Amino acid sequence: MGMAVCSTGSCHGVLHAAGYTISCTNSSKFFDKTSRLVNETAADGTSAFADAVVFGTGLSYGDKSGWFEEGEAVMNLTVIVKTETGCSGTLAVTTCAMVPATVGYHVVVSNGSVQLDKGYGYEGDTVVGYYRTPSSGSGVHHSYHGGFALAMREILGSSVTLSFAGTAGMRMVTEGVTAMRYQRWREKGPGEFGYAECDNYWLDPTRDLLMMMREVAFRLALQGEGQGGPVPVQDMLVEEKVTEVVYASDYLFLWLAVGVIGLSVLTVSPLLHGWWRLGREVSLSPMEVARAFGAPALRGSGSNSDTGQLMKEIGAKKVSYGEMTMGESSQFARELSFGEPGVVHRPQKGVAYV
């Protein structure tokens, strides 16, 4: 039985399927590959000419005592990471045991497909029960997990070795794609040139690798016969939640907005002072504005005429806006204004009009 919550066409719930429980332990290891004489022992107890693994991702599969019964088959992921630059230092070592089990995955079901919920990692998987893998009598287990471990080892396996090569300098050998994906190097400072193997360091890929193997194990459990057979049909109790937009009034901002509007009204009010002295109601009609600014086409009408009177006096008269020549023959001035189409010309670029 799974518990799911549906929202906007998708269901979030828990699905029981074959997988692994994962537990990890962290430790450290010192290495020293600084240059020295051939017979001189390094600080880590080995010769500087011997290879040291500064990055490694290895997956092993086999018996491991101390688990639920003697000889329980367990996958073991070991990750070694050089997290800092330098030819000597401390390596971070992480060992993760993956025990076969039926686990509860947090999943999202939408449009007939199921996928792992991005909001959860392997830490959120719950254990439903453990499996006992059959033994052949020689201590070697033959199960689906062995094939899975072999495939993952070929895909994820990677290593980088570092050693001192004498006059040739430092030697670094890289195998596998994982090492190259997580490799980084120190940026050169002013006046620094060339490439130094000891400047390389790596990001820790442990969580990414575990999440990838978890995804593959989940897909294999859903698609075919696994250690416990195909995944049975499971009922999921669905509870639908509807999200509604709720508005809450913030009266502080309301009164601040009202205050700003009131201040704007008080600021503009002095500009309207004395409008009644015109003797009529005034509007912002284009006709009244043009007459107020002395448009030549409207100079024959009353200076205090409203829009209705201006339209009666002018009638159906065509006007254009553009360049007009004003003044007497002794002194002409060109300006932009409204006038009859025959005396108005197109404005010229670069001309300053009065």
pLDDT computed for residue 68 by the predictor: 44
Instruction: State pLDDT tens for residues 262-309.
Output: 999 999 888 777 777 777 777 778 778 877 777 777 777 777 788 888
Token digits of residue 18: 């074959």
pLDDT at position 138 is: 43
Given pLDDT bands bounded at 50, 70 and 90, which one contains residue 261?
Answer: very high
Environment class of 328 (CB within 10 Å of its CB; exposed 0-12, middle 13-18, buried 19+)? exposed
**Which residue is associated with the tokens 């449009």?**
111
Q: Are residues 230 and 261 in the same domain?
A: no
Domain's final residue, options 211, 240, 269: 240
**pLDDT tens profile 138-156:** 444 446 777 888 899 999 9
Answer yes or no: is 346 within a domain.
no
Q: Identify whether residues 182 and 231 lie together within a single domain.
A: yes
Considering the domain architecture, whether residues 304 and 284 belong to the same structural domain is answered as yes
Phi/psi of residue 160, nearest 5 degrees? -135, 125
Same structural domain, 289 and 231: no
Query: End of a domain among 240, 262, 288?
Result: 240
The verdict on 304 and 157 lying in the same domain is: no
Looking at the fold, whether 93 and 227 belong to one and the same domain comes out as yes
232 plus 262 within the same structural domain: no
Average pLDDT, the chain: 79
In this predicted model, what pLDDT tens digit does every residue of 96-128 receive, in sequence order? 999 888 888 988 877 677 888 888 999 999 888
Q: Is the pLDDT of residue 190 over 70?
A: no
Asked if the structure places residue 70 within a domain, the reply is yes
Counting the structural domains of the chain, the total is 2
Domain boundary among 240, 275, 301: 240
| C-beta separation of 77 from 209 below 8 A | yes
Q: What is residue 227's predicted lDDT score, i.e. its pLDDT?
A: 46
Residue 237 is predicted with a pLDDT of 56
Distances in Å between the Cα of 112 and the Cα atoms of 108, 155, 222 are: 10, 30, 14
- Do 191 and 225 have their domain in common? yes
Same domain assignment for residues 235 and 298: no
Domain extent, residue 278, equals 252-339
Average pLDDT over residues 215-223: 87
Identify whether residues 174 and 293 lie together within a single domain.
no
- Answer yes or no: do 154 and 50 share one domain: yes
> Do 331 and 275 lie in a common domain?
yes
Please give the Cα distance from 280 to 268 (Å, whole number): 21
